[in-house]
Structure 1
């Protein structure tokens, strides 16, 4: 049965959900003002298998999220929408010691048994390293992981929203709020007046508290500011170099044709501030110059600033909002949003259609983080 569904938030979660819902024949309306969206400001590395986090449920989510890209890209291609936003280019892990590199190598080899997508894993030195990434400097050895990938969040969401409209969905660049009729049903408050929907998906990331608090909810989600820098050199080489993951905070993502992305920062004390801050981005660039000195001559074409969503225990959640009929939400994805976001968006679309989630929602319990005051 065709449903009328609202998706609030057009980032990686919302755009994936809206694509699959529209593709399934539902009437989809996406609402997103674009302000501070984490995905639009993000370019990320898809290489979750190396994490030290011991949370098995989180690891399953990001591992299956990385694998989900194959389905997502294949589905888009079948609908005539190919995108260069994603590429499985491999990843180079840099460390401050040989022991660190060996430790990560051993972890990757162990996890490859359950996640063959990891691909080739090898410690590279000297000419082997130069062969795979000639511009790299001041690095004696690195771990190569063949399954590592890069993604431009902004470009991917553009493609997903384009696919949504191709299947009849509509995109509204505006901020909306919700009204509760006290019977568990919701209306979306639009400039033309309140509108009812058969299902509502809240994919607003760090702004989920602002949506639900007026309805009497407390939401354990905080914003974290992230900045990245986009650089452009005169190099027109389309070479698909691997992404670089140094030990520490920043990553380096070469996109070919002279475009390189540096970032991103993790600023807990700045929350929802969306202003570029050179006191943060300049040190990031200085670090990048250590490994890629030619970037000193690059032009800064853009500084992207967005707000990630974190819960107090750094765990993501998704599912039906407690106390509300046919309202579903997700948040708390943090810096792994581009890895797990498409899969979560797909699962929310399944839930909104009355289907079962392939991942147990009790492992990512929304009721732990979204609570109705007085209950």
Structure 2
């Protein structure tokens, strides 16, 4: 069976990796290499504090956090470096820290179904002397940080499949197969994020997916031991994400009016830096930095979707993951593989209906 994967971000790379474990499957991965959200993402795996009322979304996010244990184990067993993922813990802040007590009780109700949360407690700020600007924080030892670019590169390498760069056109053929870049495929996975509309609209589909620009900065400090610090999650857009080796990622912006623009906006990043300095004063010391820009995909109701495209048999899609893409993406990728291979996964795609977001135009 010949399968095409369009998009080598978090969903597509995970699908490629797990398809590589299937027998009698030939896979080609296509990726245009620009603006991918995952490459510009330093992610936080910590969905348990969310108060979103969308139960289907929370189930996906919860199981997505759990799935990292399986994914990391599988890659490790295959002999690949797992340093892209680390359960360093998360420290959640509130401007009114009296709200931490209610949030603690909320998260505590989720411990039984998500033991991966680990230690859950409210701590005094004095236990985190590297950070300032708050008195207390809510801590979960099971929270993790993920370096998105390293994860996707590892997954593609582990898959062993060929990756072709460039934009593609999907063409249905009369025999029920599909042509992409001069090759014919039995099944197709479209994991092209915010660019899904550009792929399906030429075939007469209306696609409810919009782009959101995200920018972050990676700061590098010589001689600073950052590897054991937890992720700091203040209220709002800002996150301060320490990695080993003196690296601190600060971001990311959520810009809804920039389309597919990938230029660095220093003004936006300076605002994030100034806010971050209130929590991590060492950002004012000598350091070097680099910048990343990517494009997230959102639907009009902020819900992700995945499954088979209506009226396009054997074409499977996923999009709309938004800022939770690093949490939910690997699980969605694995479930797409289950759909392609005609077996049940641990998510029911009818809970995330494609038909709500992709419609054939009259």
1:171 maps to 2:166 = no
Distance in 1 separating the partners of 2:206 and 2:266: 34
Q: What stretches of structure 1 of length at least 5 have no aligned partner?
A: none
CA deviation after TM superposition for structure 1 residue 252, in Å:
0.5
Cα distance change on mapping 1:292 and 1:28 into 2, 3 Å? same
How many residues are matched?
361
Among 17, 20, 24, the residue aligned to 2:18: 20
Among 2, 5, 8, the residue aligned to 1:4: 2
Among 127, 132, 135, the residue aligned to 2:130: 135
1:157 maps to 2:149 = no
| Partner SS for 1:45 | strand
Cα distance change on mapping 1:126 and 1:281 into 2, 3 Å? closer
CA deviation after TM superposition for structure 1 residue 183, in Å:
5.6
| Partner SS for 1:111 | coil
Instruction: With the length of structure 2 as denominator, give the TM-score of the two structures.
Output: 0.97
Distance in 2 separating the partners of 1:370 and 1:298: 49
Q: How big is each residue's C-alpha offset from its partner over 1:7-61, in whole Å with a ceiling of 9 and x where there is no partner?
A: 0000000000000001223211110021000001101100001011011000000
Q: How big is each residue's C-alpha offset from its partner over 1:93-114, in whole Å with a ceiling of 9 and x where there is no partner?
A: 1111232211211111111122
Instruction: With the length of structure 1 as denominator, give the TM-score of the two structures.
Output: 0.94
Q: Which runs of 4+ in 1 moved over 3 A?
A: 182-185
**2:91 aligned partner:** 92
CA deviation after TM superposition for structure 1 residue 240, in Å:
1.7
Q: What stretches of structure 2 of length at least 5 have no aligned partner?
A: none
1:349 maps to 2:341 = no
Distance in 2 separating the partners of 1:126 and 1:94: 10
Distance in 1 separating the partners of 2:88 and 2:338: 30
CA deviation after TM superposition for structure 1 residue 79, in Å:
0.9
What are the within-5 Å matches in structure 2 for residues 44-55 of structure 1?
Answer: 44-55=43-54
Q: How big is each residue's C-alpha offset from its partner over 1:267-307, in whole Å with a ceiling of 9 and x where there is no partner?
A: 00112110110111001000111111111124343111000
1:326 maps to 2:314 = yes
1:253 maps to 2:248 = no
**Contact (CA 8 Å) 2:226, 2:247: kept in 1 or not?**
no
CA deviation after TM superposition for structure 1 residue 126, in Å:
4.7
**1:180 aligned partner:** 172
Cα distance change on mapping 1:287 and 1:185 into 2, 3 Å? same
**1:229 aligned partner:** 217
**Contact (CA 8 Å) 1:184, 1:323: kept in 2 or not?**
no
Among 228, 235, 253, the residue aligned to 1:240: 228
